[in-house]
Amino acid sequence: MGRKLLLEKDGIEGIRFYDVYRREGGYRSVEKVLKSMTPDQVTDEVKKSGLRGRGGAGFPTGMKWSFIAKPEGVPRHLVCNADESEPGTFKDRYLMEFIPHLLIEGLIVSSYALGSNVTYIYIRGEYAWIIDILEQAITEAKNNGWLGKNILGSGFDCEIYVHRGAGAYICGEETALIESLEGKRGNPRIKPPFPAVKGAWDRPTVVNNVETLAAVVPIINISGEEYAKIGVGKSTGTKLISACGNINKSGVYEIDMTISVEEFIFSEEYCGGIANGKRLKACIPGGSSVPILPANLLLKTAKGDTRLMNYESLSDGGFAKGSMMGSGGFIVLDEDQCVVKNTYTFARFYRHESCGQCSPCREGTGWMEKILKNIDTGKGKMSDIDLLWDIQRKIEGNTICPLGDAAAWPVAAAIRHFRDEFEWHVKNPVECLNRNYGLANYAEPLQLATA
């Protein structure tokens, strides 16, 4: 059983409410930092921990905090990115719904470190019921002296406000989020300037996601050095994984990033194996925007080693033979699933969610969707496969924000690893219309994995 830091109190009856959370040791980290640590010391602990952003990019959190400008007389802001909209990802929702005070505690500590007296939680609009849960937790924290003026007599003031998004995936990008927070259309900004210098209302701003800020609590409680001992290499601490797809036990799991992908999929402690006795065909390990990996590359690295559930191992071999940890949205596909259909579904999503600001993304996502639909419904041509490859190549790296990359990478990886499946769709239009995707249709079965 792996060590749990974020879900340690998960399952305790009433942990959602302040009295129980406090009884179980909640808000100790706030007491510690306000009574015995300076803001810079808090940032140093986060640096020592090696904590990387848990929203997808994996950028070192302490380093990001150290970039924030501190002009005299200018307010600074911390913004919690709770706009969890990546298909396949639901770990932040779990934390907010069942252990909301863990996030509030992490926000207070982080706000102190960054000098943010007014902090915001920008939450996905579809999480309507969670907004009520967070508002209740904030009220409980304030009523018990953890928010407001002169917290614990320290001289530090802090208020937290929940801001509801309007359902745009693009607002998960930090500058688009800031634009939306300011009441504007959620279009990403050109960088530089970066939010740490000129963010919300042109003030220095740090944006971190829910899991990242919640992880600050155990870092302060056990120390950054102890936190860094968990995990391996630059993948320190624990990581929440949203596991779904063709597995026996979907859910949110906390891992320490030393376990193998094979163990995570097939062990009873985690996913419990492939559902209905099927074989593993492929997996998308970090949410819909990261490259898909076939079973043989998913279980082994480019060097032939066992692939581990961490940042470095999942990316080993680059995009040719690797993927990304991403947001931790672990989507498993069994032998009966169609990669072309799956890729088309993702392409529809990214076309719909593109803000339209950049021509490569605005036009390219639409073209990819149309071509994939034709291939999926038996109307494709062999030349369409190369055309898809060319389009995704011209989108990647040519947009203001990473949504263009997020749309291009799934298409590139699907063609790279499953080109024979695309070709089969072109050659067998009748079977496509009948949705007959079983492995028996392939002249040479794909490499699959069993437990």
When pLDDT is averaged across residues 172-193 and rounded to a whole number, the result is 95
pLDDT confidence tier of residue 440, bands split at 50, 70 and 90:
very low
Q: With 90 as the cut, is the pLDDT of residue 149 above it?
A: yes
109 is a domain residue: yes
pLDDT of residue 393 exceeding 90, the answer is: yes
Per-residue confidence (pLDDT) for residue 1, from 0 to 100: 55
Mean pLDDT over the full length of the chain = 92
Using 50, 70 and 90 to split pLDDT, how confident is the model at 450? very low
pLDDT (tens digit per residue) in 233-249: 999 999 999 999 999 99
447 within domain boundaries: no
What confidence score (pLDDT) does residue 432 get?
Answer: 74
> For a pLDDT cut of 90, what percent of the chain falls above it?
87
In the predicted structure, residue 445 carries a pLDDT above the cut 50: no
> Which has the minimum average pLDDT: 87-96, 108-117, 304-313, 434-443?
434-443
Residue type, 241: I
217/363 same-domain check: no
* 344 is a domain residue: yes
Q: Which pTM value belongs to this model?
A: 0.92
Q: Which domain holds residue 83?
A: 18-229
**pLDDT at 314 exceeding the cut of 60:** yes
Residue 64 has φ and ψ, to the nearest 5°, of -60, -40
- Could you tell me the CATH number of the domain that includes residue 247? 3.10.20.600
Q: Tens digits of per-residue pLDDT, 418-432?
A: 999 999 999 988 877
What is the dihedral sign for C-alpha 173, 366, 287, 299?
Answer: negative
Mean pLDDT for 289-314 is 91
Band of the pLDDT at 317, cuts 50, 70, 90? confident
Cα 419 to Cα 320, 382, 384, 427: the distances in Å are: 13, 11, 12, 12
Residues 194 and 328 in one domain: no
What confidence tens digit (pLDDT) does each residue in 336-382 have? 999 999 999 999 999 999 999 999 999 999 999 999 999 998 899 99
310 and 359, same domain (yes or no) = no
pLDDT for 444: 39
pLDDT at res. 263:
95
Opening angle at CA 196, ends 64 and 46, nearest 5: 25
User: pLDDT tens for residues 21-73?
Assistant: 999 999 999 999 999 999 999 999 999 999 999 987 789 999 999 999 999 99
Among 285, 317, 334, residue at a domain's last position: 334
Residues 348, 293: one domain? no
Tell me, what's the pLDDT at 430?
A: 81
pLDDT for res 138: 98
Q: Are residues 291 and 368 in the same domain?
A: no
Q: Model confidence over 76-107: pLDDT tens digits?
A: 999 999 999 999 999 999 999 999 999 999 99
Provide the domain count of the chain.
3
CATH number for the domain that contains residue 78: 3.40.50.11540
- pLDDT band at residue 438 under the 50/70/90 scheme: very low
**Residue 24 covered by a domain:** yes
In which band, very low, low, confident or very high, does the pLDDT at 435 lie, cut at 50, 70 and 90? low
Order across the sheet with 239-245: list the strands.
251-255, 239-245, 329-334, 280-284, 293-294
Compute the average pLDDT of residues 421-445.
Answer: 67
Q: Answer yes or no: do 173 and 24 share one domain.
A: yes
Together in a domain, 415 and 367: yes
pLDDT band for position 320 (50/70/90)? confident
